[in-house]
C-alpha cells in the first residue's frame, strides 16, 4: 500500500506543479529580500537627513513584507493560495508610529 501511494505521489502532476511554483516563489522571495534591503537603506537615509520617515517607502515596505509573508505561507505548505501575481498585491496603510520619534 505504501509503495503504491509513493508511486502515485511521484506521478502526481499537482505535486510537481506545486514544486515548480515553490522554486519560482523562492526566487521571488530572494528578490524581495534585496528590495527590502534597498528600502531599509533609503528609509534610514531619509530619516537621517529629514528627521521623518518617508510615507511612500513605509507603505511599500509594509506591503512588501506582507507579500514575503504570503510567499512563506505558500512555500511552507501552510496555504495553497499562491501570492501575487495570482492574488492582488497587498495594499495596507501603515499605522502611525506610537511613542517613537526620530528626534531626541
Q: Do the domain assignments include residue 38?
A: yes
State what percent of residues in the chain have pLDDT above 90: 71
Domain count, the chain: 1
Q: Do the domain assignments include residue 3?
A: no
Predicted TM-score of the model (pTM): 0.83
Q: What per-residue confidence (pLDDT) applies to 100?
A: 56
pLDDT bucket at 102, cuts 50 / 70 / 90: low
Question: Residue 39 belongs to what domain range?
Answer: 16-93
CA 11/CA 40 separation, integer angstroms: 44
Q: What per-residue confidence (pLDDT) applies to 104?
A: 45
8 Å CB contact between 15 and 9: yes
CA 13/CA 10 separation, integer angstroms: 8
- What is the per-residue pLDDT across 60-87, written as a single tens digit (0 to 9) for each? 999 999 999 999 999 999 999 999 999 8
Amino acid at each position: 500500500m505504501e509503495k503504491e501511494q509513493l508511486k502515485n505521489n511521484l506521478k502526481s502532476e499537482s505535486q510537481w506543479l506545486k514544486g515548480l511554483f515553490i522554486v519560482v516563489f523562492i526566487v521571488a522571495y530572494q528578490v524581495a529580500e534585496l528590495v527590502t534591503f534597498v528600502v531599509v537603506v533609503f528609509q534610514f537615509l531619509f530619516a537621517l537627513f529629514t528627521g521623518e520617515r518617508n510615507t511612500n517607502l513605509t507603505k511599500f515596505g509594509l506591503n512588501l513584507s506582507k507579500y514575503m509573508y504570503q510567499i512563506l505561507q505558500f512555500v511552507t505548505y501552510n496555504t495553497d493560495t499562491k501570492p501575487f501575481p495570482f492574488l492582488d498585491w497587498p495594499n495596507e496603510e501603515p499605522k502611525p508610529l506610537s511613542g517613537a520619534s526620530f528626534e531626541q
